[in-house]
């Protein structure tokens, strides 16, 4: 239960910041440097935020240091993130679900997906660091 609550909180915190970063990326960076460069600039920033947010959630929810607990937290956060990303893609950008999936196969989409997978692994990586 601690991992689930921590995962939901980790997702929510990171998603809010990521939404703000994504808005800045879309409105200001993409027109100037293109999709790939913009995502490449954003990715390390949001991963830094994710690192801090995961650490706070791990402590706040007292998630056990067992690898399975930390992977569960990251997995729950990842599932929620992908559902939210699909929802935003459909509602704000008018894509279909298949259009969202196809967007993940572009160069920028693959960088984003790699960052999202790293986001999911951060709680476990912090476990190794603890």
Name the 3-class secondary structure at 130: coil
For residues 50 and 115, the answer to whether their CB atoms sit within 8 Å is no
Structural domain for 76, as ranges: 2-129
What is residue 83's predicted lDDT score, i.e. its pLDDT?
Answer: 97
What is residue 130's predicted lDDT score, i.e. its pLDDT?
Answer: 47
State the DSSP string of 11-40: HHHHHHHHHHHHHHIIIIIHHHH-HHHHHH
**Judging by beta carbons within 10 Å of its beta carbon (0-12, 13-18, 19+), is residue 96 exposed, middle or buried?**
exposed
Burial profile 13-36: b = 16 or more Cβ within 10 angstroms, e = fewer: bbbebbeebbeebeeebbeeeebe
Number of folded domains in the chain?
Answer: 1
What is residue 58's predicted lDDT score, i.e. its pLDDT?
Answer: 96
pLDDT tens profile 38-94: 999 999 999 999 999 999 999 999 999 999 999 999 999 999 999 999 999 999 989
């Amino acid at each position: 239960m601690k991992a689930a609550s921590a995962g939901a909180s980790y997702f929510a915190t990171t998603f809010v910041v990521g939404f703000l970063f994504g808005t800045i990326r879309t409105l200001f960076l993409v027109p100037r440097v293109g999709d790939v460069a913009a995502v490449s600039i954003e990715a390390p920033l949001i991963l830094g935020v994710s690192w801090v947010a995961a650490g706070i959630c791990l402590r706040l929810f007292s998630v056990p240091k067992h690898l399975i607990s930390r992977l569960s937290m990251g997995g729950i956060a990842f599932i929620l993130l992908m559902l939210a990303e699909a929802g935003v893609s459909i509602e704000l950008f008018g894509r279909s679900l298949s259009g969202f999936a196809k967007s993940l196969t572009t160069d920028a989409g693959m960088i984003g997906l790699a960052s999202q997978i790293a986001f999911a692994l951060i709680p476990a990586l912090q476990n190794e660091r603890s």
